[in-house]
A and B are shown apart, each in its own frame.
Chain A
Amino acid sequence: MSKLIETDALIIGAGPVGLFAVFELGLLNINCHVIDILDKPGGQCAQLYPEKPIYDIPAYPMISGKDLTDKLLLQIKPFSPVFHFEELAKDLKKNNDGTWHISTKKGLNFHAKVIIIAAGGGSFEPKKPNIPNLEKYFDQVRYSIDQIDNFKNKDIVILGGGDSALDWTVQLNEIVKSLTLIHRRDVFRGSPATVNKVMDLRDKGEIKFHVGQVKNIIGSNGILDAVQCEKKEGILEIPCDILMPFFGLTMSLGPVEKWGLNLLEDRVSVSTETYQTSVPGIYAVGDINTYPGKLKLILSGFHETALMAHAVFKYINPEERLTLQYTTTSSSLQKKLLAK
């Protein structure tokens, strides 16, 4: 097991609400580690609408998802949160003393006093195309590459025309037996350099390219043999050892679903006094939670983090009295905010 990472709070999700939770917890001297499935902070703001304006953030008549993320990062800098990107919180165990042990998909282990779920719409996962029997061949249908050796000397079929499809086409082509790229049109969306590289490989005949769509796959005894590519001219059968569909990302609740928390319509139920879930020591803020009257707004998520932070303080320090302090007047808060 990798070294145990000690933290007061483990925040799951680095979207705007997860980031602001660092701030509210930080004011109360509660330190945080933050994990996120994406490779950057910002959550949906970064992944779905970085350039699109948001109009309902107080004091900002208009701000882009990217700017909001950047400003939140600046705001929480004094509290030195530690980020772990491209990580998924997977298994959860309660220790005898009431603290938590969380392990991640890539093998990190955290020891945390509390867990804050700020996972928005859930974790981003690759879209699985609606091809009959696709799940039967889970071993041969890949959405990412863990061991590149598994692709050596294989017949690979890549679906899609975006960055992921193009990047893997260029990279894998060096080592595979054959590579076929299938896309619905002959226009690609990717960095110009990569698009040119793919065009070049196609023109030289190093890869095969088809305008079409795969709607059926063929296999026997649990082994995938080929895909059927529907083209204008007809159906073409292409041998396939590994199929890689790249149709972007979608959101799902993910492992959180199995943590024994009370859920309501795929959201985590919380108390509106503490934002604690049905399990003491686990809190949920932002789009992922639900309660009577819930509005899925960034604004509501910010409010929830303040109440959550105060509840967490009392949970961690049951003997201590907590008085509300203002950043405008409290010298101790100002010291924290200006320290670094």
Chain B
Amino acid sequence: MVNINFISSKGVLQKADAVAGETLMECAKKNQIHEIEAECGGGCSCATCHVYIHKEWLDKLEKPSEMEEDMLDFAFNVKENSRLSCQIKIEDVLDGLTLETPETQF
């Protein structure tokens, strides 16, 4: 199990167990992280699973693909640590990954 720390826009921490191989978005949906919508179901085509990855974890993730960058254009309040959670594959090295969810997805 890989532990993920979801912090809501109100600052509330919710810990969740993820399985290596699934995406961060899938983990969020399974654990009812309500600030993640994932309208398109993981197709990288809606930008409603937008999250802010805590800086210390950013380098441990693979860089976003061009497709993800393009789709981030459709998210609101994009920051340097913005990612789409459907494009992040959970790996064992991500145990403890901490991220924040935005107040709204658009």
Contact = CB atoms under 8 A, between A and B. Distances in A.
Interface string B53-84: 00000000000000001101111111000000
Given A130-B104, A247-B106, A160 B73 contact: yes
A127 B106 contact: yes
A121 to B, nearest CB: 7
Contacts of A49: 40, 43, 45
Interface stretch (A99-107, A140-148, A182-190, A299-307): A182-190
B46 interface: yes
Contacts of B77: 130, 213, 215
Nearest to B45: A48
A280 interface: no
A127 B46 CA distance: 10
A187 B69 contact: yes
Interface residues of B, number: 19
A162 interface: yes
A48 B40 contact: yes
Contacts, number: 54
A323 B46 CA distance: 44
A153 B40 CA distance: 39
A26 to B, nearest CB: 30
B98 to A, nearest CB: 23
B36 to A, nearest CB: 14
Contacts of A183: 73
B39 A251 contact: yes
A77 interface: no
B103 interface: yes
A52 B43 contact: yes
Given A121-B39, A130-B106, A250-B39, A189 B45 contact: no
A48 B44 CA distance: 9
Contacts of A187: 69
Given A121-B39, A130-B103, A250 B48 contact: yes
Given A49-B43, A160-B74, A185-B73, 6 more contacts: A48-B46, A121-B39, A127-B74, A247-B73, A247-B76, A251-B39
When A and B form their complex, which 7 residue pairs have the shortest distance between CB atoms, in order from nearest? A248-B74, A127-B106, A48-B45, A49-B43, A189-B70, A130-B104, A48-B40
